[in-house]
Structure 1
Amino acid sequence: MKNLYITEKPSVADSFASVLGIEINKSDRSRGYAENDNAIISWCYGHLVTLAYPEVYDPAYKSWRVEHLPIIPQEYKYEIVNNAGAKKQFEVIRKLMHREDVSMIYSCTDSGREGEYIFRLVYQESKTNKPAKRVWISSQTEDAVRRGIEEAKDIHAYDPLARAAYCRAKEDWLFGMNFSRIYTCRYGKELAARLKEDKRSVIAIGRVMTCVLGLVVERELEISNFVPKVHYGIMASFLSQASGIAYKGKWQPPKNKGAEPTVQPGEDEKYFSKEEAQAIIDKLNGHEATVKKVEIKVKKEPPPLLFNLAELQSEANKKFKLPVDETLEIAQRLYEKKLISYPRTDSRVLSTDIISEIPKVLNGLYKNSAFKDAVIRIKDFGKLAIDKSAKRFVDDSKVTDHYAIIPTYVATDLSRLDADSRNVYSLIVKRFLAIFYPAAEYNTVKVETEIKGEIFVTHSKTLKDLGWKEIYEVTPAKNEEELSASPIHLLTKKEKCEVTGLEL
């Protein structure tokens, strides 16, 4: 008897085939499966089965009419995706599931809600009654695949996930089919007239698509309706009389006393007009300044959390201007090449069960010349900073289906990757390596200088110890405070300063 393994796509089947001792040749690709004496492997092309369109329930629904709405099936119907390749592959899998020599079916689709849904529909529509197990893995390495097969659970252990997938699909269907029809019936002709089209326009409404479009429109309206407001601040230039240090300070408007800013009715923010700011300058001209406070602190900045998909997409866009969908495609390819863990994750921390694999991952990265020195540095630090007690980076309670995106132990020559893939992969590796480095340390200085009761603030921040920034640098935020390059930490309290300039 044989076991049948079903993956989500042909490229993933290769990872399982190598573990199962199956070699997939060109002929196997053509017929849709491969086998040896013990196992059979086949694959989907993503979704092979989908919810049926309304006209399958009632031919009258082919015509979009308001009186038909809402369309709410008592029992949902499914059909094979209307594509020659999908229909052929479904039939291949259906026949394999009914083969007499197949005793167990393994679901090897992506370990997530959508992957669960893809397999369940094929399993359901094949009408097989053979037992099935679920392979749940977070990377495509041979070790992960082998362990996933060995530890596969009965398919019913994942029934809650399957029910969630079915509910999400039905919700999408109800939302899209009903709202698209009502909006098209009500406003399709009007929209066509505005667009100068002959036929009634179809207005597609989707549960996610329409909400996102609404956010885009809302933001666009904010931008187009924005009215620039000119507001003023005051910058003072100082020269300390004792130490001869030249520096600048930004005026801090008083909170409870002094000049009241101009406020337009209905506005939340307060702005100082040019006249009000100039009045402050006139009041301060010709007066001496005094250092009121010098505050020096050492601040530690821990390494950033690991990547989830959203954070990876955001950082890749900031650093490399990559669109979010392209970053996802790159991450998926890297996953299928066994170079990174499962990318479609919401988690930014690791689970305790992966900790034992970390030395192997570091050893794999050591074989890559681009990361060898960083791994040596980590080993020089002594005991690994990440273990089960490192709650910032290891927390089972914060891991959903999959832990954060990290590299695997599979080594690769970066020159064999295209530029974008190389950038994204390096980003993931460096973010991973950074968590083994100590915190970065800064000397922060805040100086308050007073002129006739008005306070001017100066900030300085110098890097004392690179720590994790030796390997990884986060893209700075746009609203980071303005820092002084002057040695303001040498100033002393009550030191007198000459005011060499006041400007708007």
Structure 2
Amino acid sequence: MTTHKLVIAEKPSVAQSIAHVLGANRRNDGYLEGKGYIVSWCVGHLVELASAEVYDPKYAKWSKETLPIIPSHWQYQTNSSTQKQFSVLKKLMADKKVDTIICATDAGREGELIFRLVYNQAGCTKPVKRLWISSMEESAIADGFANLHDGSDFDNLYQAALARAQADWLVGINATRLFSSIYGLTLNIGRVVSPTLAMIVEREATIKAFVPQPFYTVQLDCDGLVLAGDKLEAKNQAEGIASVMNGKNLVISTVETKEKSEKPPKLYDLTTLQREANKLLGFTAEQTLTYTQSLYEKKLVTYPRTDSRYLTEDMKSTIPAVASAVAGLFDGKNHPIHMEQVVDNSKVSDHHAIIPTMKAKGLDVQSLPFGERETLLLIAIRLLVAVGEVHRYGETIITAQHEGHNFTAKGKTVLQSGWKEVQALYKETKTKGESPLPTVVEGQVFTPSATVKEGKTTSPKHYTDDTLLASMENANNALDEGERKGIGTPATRAGILEKLVKTGLAQRKGDKKAKHFIATDKGNGLITVLPEAIQSPELTAEWETQLKQVEQGELSPSTFLEGICSTVKTLVDTYEPVEGAATIFPSDREVVGTCPRCGGTVTENKKGFCCATEGCGFALWKANRFFTAKKKSLTPKLAKELLANGKVKLTGCYSEKTGRNYDCTVMMEDKGEGFVNFKMVFENKKKAPNKRK
């Protein structure tokens, strides 16, 4: 029997690219086959951590009394929407002709987790090899298969990925249920989401509390040379200085010129690419990741989910050709290439910086969708810029003094445009040039015209995708250790920002290219009631550092999770509700009563009267057949009475059997799950109860 190697990719499109290189061109249902290879794929997370109710049916109902939920043994479940593909993979892994499994999911933490959960859930024990590549070019795929790694080399990466998922489950499940049940509405809480929201709320509070302060500057116009004095708080002081200076001789004290230089910016990692695309193009972090991932799958750029801004030594010989290829997307010229500026093995971990591939040579960029085109051009120009010449300029500082007051003028003269000239090839990055100062010498005398210029201090700016990503990346900077301790990872931060918006905790406001984040009333309220341990960016950044230690084999996953469990238990055991929930969480929906299942708030919407707590499921539907058959409407008044007393009197009910009207009392019967039932009770008790859903 001929043996086969089973290759498991993350997406069908990636599997097709791999299969083409391997010669596995025979199509089957859910996989491709040929030349000793079977190539199949996952579709996102086929296997996930099981939901709470899988551990115990009592967890189907959200209740503070059932918390904390901390599994003694973790369980997993297959995603119902992709069960078919999981079954395909399970069958293939069990096939006797398959002797080796090759993990070809994305070469990162989440890709490793996706594969391992499927492998374990299928009960597979066959040996595993790992494909680890940074480009989807055919040459890179072929080279990767010629140099496969042992699957065990990535055990720590898997342990870190699993610990991250379990930590998010523990914090999310317990904290979300705790606060939702206490305050009567769905409050999504997460290990990274909540600290990010706290940043937005804190920034908004700072902006609202800011009071602009006026300041005044004396400016002296000396025949076109404008010198400015120090900022002054008192207007009369500035006016006094200006009146003294008008028509008086002013002697230039010093004229000093220094040559300075600016090194080219480094290559893009994912976060800096997302920040730049947001600043220049208005793309959200999620959009930029989507565009770059598509470019990666089209083999036009290298792997996007990287935190490195450098290349490796072995790439020195190939980058000049890539730079020449991408130059064709702009001016087609031969630009200077200084490889030493972008190569540093010590600063590359799993993947190098994002750069274009040789497939960009001769590409008709106009054939790409707008988002992908602009993202590719940004990545391409950054490569040319990063290997380019330094930007050199002369900075001139002119000073003058009069009766203890200092006046200064600064100017720049470009000596060598360097990388800035290359950067200007991309239209969005053009910058305004600075005019050089007039020629002045020490001791030169002017008779200035003095004016007073008024200004005001400005408040901090609202967070944009750009600046919020920067704050997430640099949360709890450990300057003494020379390392960044951020929250989230380059691969997950975009999803965190989108989750804030989707769960109604924050929203983007502003025009298309300048949108910024504002916390909603719900988001502000949540941060008000959350204890510091859950909303602290510092603690979350420390957790991220520990996950990195797990990935590097320096910390056991169990030790990391013990800390998470301890935080969760302390939260559940010690949290005291904050009074005034109605004020903290204002709602534009009318409250009609208290939920009989979870104690949450029942509010009215278009279809009925529903509990605001996510996962509860309690609802009194307006179109309920029980009422419509009797030609009655379930009004807010009736709903309030049912919630308050469990029953309500109805008069003039229509009988479908007799066509007559009658009076009765309607009793609400709720079993704690599913639909709410109703029954009729008659005072003379002659008619049998009639139950309907």
Instruction: Supply the distance in 2 between the matched residues of 1:214 and 1:147 (Cα, whole angstroms).
Output: 46
SS at match of 1:184: helix
Q: Kindly state the Cα deviation for residue 224 of structure 1 after the two structures are TM-superposed.
A: 2.5
Superposed CA deviations along residues 326-376 of structure 1, whole A, max 9, x for unmatched, are 11110111111111111111111112232233244235436xx424623x2
Q: Does 1:215 align with 2:193?
A: no
State the partner residue of 1:252: 230
Instruction: Supply the distance in 2 between the matched residues of 1:400 and 1:52 (Cα, whole angstroms).
Output: 32
Instruction: Supply the distance in 2 between the matched residues of 1:202 and 1:155 (Cα, whole angstroms).
Output: 41
Match of 1:129 among 125, 131, 156: 125
SS at match of 2:412: strand
Q: Does 1:356 align with 2:317?
A: yes
Structure 1 residues 24 and 296, CA gap change in structure 2 (3 angstroms) = farther
Q: Kindly state the Cα deviation for residue 476 of structure 1 after the two structures are TM-superposed.
A: 11
Kindly name which structure, 1 or 2, has the bigger radius of gyration based on alpha carbons.
2
Q: Kindly state the Cα deviation for residue 503 of structure 1 after the two structures are TM-superposed.
A: 2.3
State the partner residue of 1:196: none
State the partner residue of 2:152: 156
Is contact 1:361-1:407 (8 Å) kept? yes
Instruction: Supply the distance in 2 between the matched residues of 1:461 and 1:154 (Cα, whole angstroms).
Output: 56
Q: Does 1:397 align with 2:375?
A: no
Instruction: Supply the distance in 1 between the matched residues of 2:244 and 2:331 (Cα, whole angstroms).
Output: 61
Q: Does 1:205 align with 2:163?
A: no
State the partner residue of 1:179: 175
Q: Kindly state the Cα deviation for residue 24 of structure 1 after the two structures are TM-superposed.
A: 6.4
Q: Kindly state the Cα deviation for residue 159 of structure 1 after the two structures are TM-superposed.
A: 0.6
Aligned alpha-carbon RMSD (Å)? 2.2
State the partner residue of 2:449: 500
Is contact 1:139-1:145 (8 Å) kept? yes
Q: Kindly state the Cα deviation for residue 273 of structure 1 after the two structures are TM-superposed.
A: 2.5
Normalising by structure 2, we get a TM-score of 0.62
Q: Does 1:436 align with 2:411?
A: no
Superposed CA deviations along residues 143-171 of structure 1, whole A, max 9, x for unmatched, are 11111111111111101101100110110
Deviates more, 1:154-163 or 1:221-230: 221-230
Instruction: Supply the distance in 2 between the matched residues of 1:502 and 1:359 (Cα, whole angstroms).
Output: 55
SS at match of 2:318: helix
Instruction: Supply the distance in 2 between the matched residues of 1:486 and 1:110 (Cα, whole angstroms).
Output: 51
How many residues are matched?
Answer: 447
Is contact 1:363-1:409 (8 Å) kept? no
Instruction: Supply the distance in 1 between the matched residues of 2:177 and 2:447 (Cα, whole angstroms).
Output: 74
Q: Does 1:140 align with 2:140?
A: no
Normalising by structure 1, we get a TM-score of 0.84
Q: Kindly state the Cα deviation for residue 475 of structure 1 after the two structures are TM-superposed.
A: 10
Is contact 1:347-1:402 (8 Å) kept? yes
Match of 1:318 among 264, 271, 279: 279
State the partner residue of 1:343: 304
Instruction: Supply the distance in 1 between the matched residues of 2:400 and 2:406 (Cα, whole angstroms).
Output: 6
Instruction: Supply the distance in 2 between the matched residues of 1:444 and 1:289 (Cα, whole angstroms).
Output: 22
SS at match of 2:317: helix
Structure 1 residues 294 and 321, CA gap change in structure 2 (3 angstroms) = same
Instruction: Supply the distance in 2 between the matched residues of 1:215 and 1:187 (Cα, whole angstroms).
Output: 22
Structure 1 residues 281 and 330, CA gap change in structure 2 (3 angstroms) = same
Instruction: Supply the distance in 1 between the matched residues of 2:138 and 2:434 (Cα, whole angstroms).
Output: 53
The amino acid across from 2:446 in the alignment is C
Q: Does 1:470 align with 2:421?
A: yes
- TM alignment of 1:99-138, pairs within 5 A: 99-138=95-134
Is contact 1:315-1:475 (8 Å) kept? no
State the partner residue of 2:399: 448
State the partner residue of 1:234: 218
Is contact 1:247-1:486 (8 Å) kept? no
Match of 2:80 among 56, 79, 82: 82
State the partner residue of 2:329: 370
SS at match of 1:13: helix
SS at match of 2:448: strand
State the partner residue of 2:19: 17
State the partner residue of 1:192: none
Q: Kindly state the Cα deviation for residue 274 of structure 1 after the two structures are TM-superposed.
A: 1.7
Superposed CA deviations along residues 43-73 of structure 1, whole A, max 9, x for unmatched, are 1111100000111111111122212111111
The amino acid across from 2:382 in the alignment is R
Instruction: Supply the distance in 2 between the matched residues of 1:364 and 1:15 (Cα, whole angstroms).
Output: 22
Is contact 1:343-1:405 (8 Å) kept? yes
- TM alignment of 1:401-416, pairs within 5 A: 401-411=350-360, 412-416=363-367
SS at match of 2:292: helix
Superposed CA deviations along residues 389-445 of structure 1, whole A, max 9, x for unmatched, are x2x421122212111111111132212112221111011111101233211211211
Structure 1 residues 405 and 37, CA gap change in structure 2 (3 angstroms) = closer
Is contact 1:341-1:406 (8 Å) kept? yes
Q: Kindly state the Cα deviation for residue 283 of structure 1 after the two structures are TM-superposed.
A: 3.7
The amino acid across from 1:410 in the alignment is K
Q: Which one has more relative contact order, counting CA pairs under 8 Å at least 6 apart?
A: 1
State the partner residue of 1:297: 258
Is contact 1:350-1:396 (8 Å) kept? yes
Q: Kindly state the Cα deviation for residue 127 of structure 1 after the two structures are TM-superposed.
A: 0.3
Is contact 1:460-1:483 (8 Å) kept? no
Instruction: Supply the distance in 2 between the matched residues of 1:437 and 1:225 (Cα, whole angstroms).
Output: 45
SS at match of 1:234: strand
SS at match of 1:327: helix
SS at match of 2:447: strand
Is contact 1:287-1:452 (8 Å) kept? no
Is contact 1:235-1:503 (8 Å) kept? yes
The amino acid across from 1:247 in the alignment is L
The amino acid across from 1:163 in the alignment is Q
Q: Kindly state the Cα deviation for residue 229 of structure 1 after the two structures are TM-superposed.
A: 2.0
Q: Kindly state the Cα deviation for residue 202 of structure 1 after the two structures are TM-superposed.
A: 1.6
Percent sequence identity over aligned pairs: 39
Q: Does 1:93 align with 2:89?
A: yes
Superposed CA deviations along residues 211-235 of structure 1, whole A, max 9, x for unmatched, are 2111112222222332222222222
Instruction: Supply the distance in 2 between the matched residues of 1:183 and 1:74 (Cα, whole angstroms).
Output: 23
Structure 1 residues 461 and 363, CA gap change in structure 2 (3 angstroms) = closer
Q: Kindly state the Cα deviation for residue 279 of structure 1 after the two structures are TM-superposed.
A: 2.8
Is contact 2:267-2:354 (8 Å) kept? yes
State the partner residue of 1:62: 60
